[in-house]
Amino acid sequence: MRIVSISAALLTLVALGACEAPRSGAGEGAATAAGASDASASMRPTFADYDAGAVPGGPGAGRAYGLGASATSAHIARIDLDVGDTGAELPAGRGSVSDGNALYKAQCAMCHGQRGEGMLPAYPALIGRDPAGEDFKFATDPKIVPTIGNYWPYATTIFDYIKRAMPLTAPGSLTDDQVYALTAYLLAANDVIPDTTTLDAAGLRAVRMPYADRFIPDARQVPAPVK
- 73-115 per-position pLDDT tens digit: 998 988 888 999 999 999 999 999 999 999 999 999 999 999 9
Selected from 3.30.420.40, 3.30.460.10, 1.10.760.10, 2.40.37.10, the CATH number assigned to the domain covering 73-214 reads 1.10.760.10
Residue 44 has pLDDT above 80, yes or no: no
The 3-class secondary structure across 73-101, one letter per residue, is: HHHHHHHCCCCCCCCCCCCCCEEEHHHHH
DSSP state of 176: H
pTM surpassing 0.75? no
Residue 64 has pLDDT above 60, yes or no: yes
Burial 67-78 (b: 16+ CB within 10 A, else e): eeeeeeeeeeee
| DSSP per residue, 184-200 | HHHHHHTTSS-TT-EEE
Q: What 3-state class would DSSP assign to 123?
A: strand
Residue 205 has pLDDT above 90, yes or no: yes
**CB distance 184 to 96 below 8 Å:** yes
89 vs 50, higher pLDDT: 89
Mean pLDDT (the chain) is: 83
- 117-167 per-position pLDDT tens digit: 999 889 999 999 888 888 888 889 989 999 999 999 999 999 999 999 999
Taking Cα atoms as reference points, which of 178, 216, 218 lies closest to residue 199? 178
Q: What is the arithmetic mean of pLDDT over 63-78?
A: 85
- 154-170 per-position pLDDT tens digit: 999 999 999 999 999 99
Burial 163-198 (b: 16+ CB within 10 A, else e): beebbeeeeeebebbbbbbbbbbbbbbbebbeeebe
Measured CA to CA, the distance from residue 116 to residue 182 in angstroms comes to 12
